[in-house]
Amino acid sequence: MTQKRKMIIIGISICVVLVLAIVVFSGVIGVSANNITDHARKTQKINSSWEMNGASNDDITALIFFNNTHDDHTFSVYLPRGGLSFGYFFRDGGSSSIIMNGIQIFTYGENGSAILSMNKDRVARIVYGDGEDITEILVNPARPFAKVVPANSGPISLYSENGVELPITSIEQRG
């Protein structure tokens, strides 16, 4: 092998290593959809005995973790990034007195909305849409929940197991 060929191979190798380093360390590779739950448990130090309820679509993933007495929780919301990126990225999480005692909606612009609650209000249905384009999500009224609604879905209403419309405690715009 000639000296010139060796230099070309070394140069190409260095370029490949640099490109890989940029991709890995620049935050373009997120968490795969299959690993979000494990990632949330690990990064937020969530007890492995806690149950989880969650929902996901291509634009948003919402999770709520809770203990067996339903008196403590941690939530996580993951979004994909635009442009050259792969996977989902942690966007919001922690615990909230609003989620503990009421109904919290986080709205993320074109990604849609995450609806989270420990379900003390006993939500049984989430309904969204306008006119003839209505979608209904069923919820177990005895369990905490995390649900997602697509962007531009129209008004969102929540109903108890008795059919009574419930007030949304808080709606936060998050970008």
CA-based nearest residue to 88, from 73, 72, 108: 108
Give the number of domains in the chain: 1
Q: Is residue 3 part of a domain?
A: no
Q: Is residue 82 part of a domain?
A: yes
Which letter, b or e, does each residue of 68-85 get, where b requires 16 or more Cβ atoms within 10 Å of its Cβ? eeeeebbbbbbbbeeeee
The beta strand positions in 83-132, using DSSP E, are 88-94, 104-107, 113-117, 123-130
Of residues 98 and 26, more confidently modeled: 98
Q: Is residue 60 part of a domain?
A: yes
Give the number of other Cβ atoms within 10 Å of residue 106's Cβ: 24
Of residues 68 and 24, more confidently modeled: 68
Range of the domain at 141: 31-173
Residue 110 scores a pLDDT above 80: yes
Q: In the predicted model, what is the mean pLDDT of residues 30-46?
A: 87
Lowest mean pLDDT among 70-79, 83-92, 105-114: 83-92
Give the number of other Cβ atoms within 10 Å of residue 160's Cβ: 14
Predicted local distance difference test score (pLDDT) of residue 21: 54
Lowest mean pLDDT among 23-32, 47-56, 61-70, 131-140: 23-32
The pTM of the full predicted model, rounded to 2 decimals, is 0.81
3-state secondary structure of 45: coil
CB 95 within 8 A of CB 66: no
Q: Is residue 76 part of a domain?
A: yes
Cα–Cα dist 81/79, whole Å: 6
Q: Is residue 2 part of a domain?
A: no
Cα–Cα dist 129/71, whole Å: 32
Pairing of strands 170-173, 104-107: parallel
Lowest mean pLDDT among 57-61, 86-90, 169-173: 86-90
Q: Is residue 6 part of a domain?
A: no
Predicted local distance difference test score (pLDDT) of residue 26: 45
Residue 19 scores a pLDDT above 90: no
Q: Is residue 10 part of a domain?
A: no
Predicted local distance difference test score (pLDDT) of residue 165: 94
Share of the chain above pLDDT 70, in %: 88
Q: In the predicted model, what is the mean pLDDT of residues 149-168?
A: 93
Of residues 70 and 85, more confidently modeled: 70
Query: In whole numbers, what is the pLDDT of the chain averaged over residues?
Result: 87
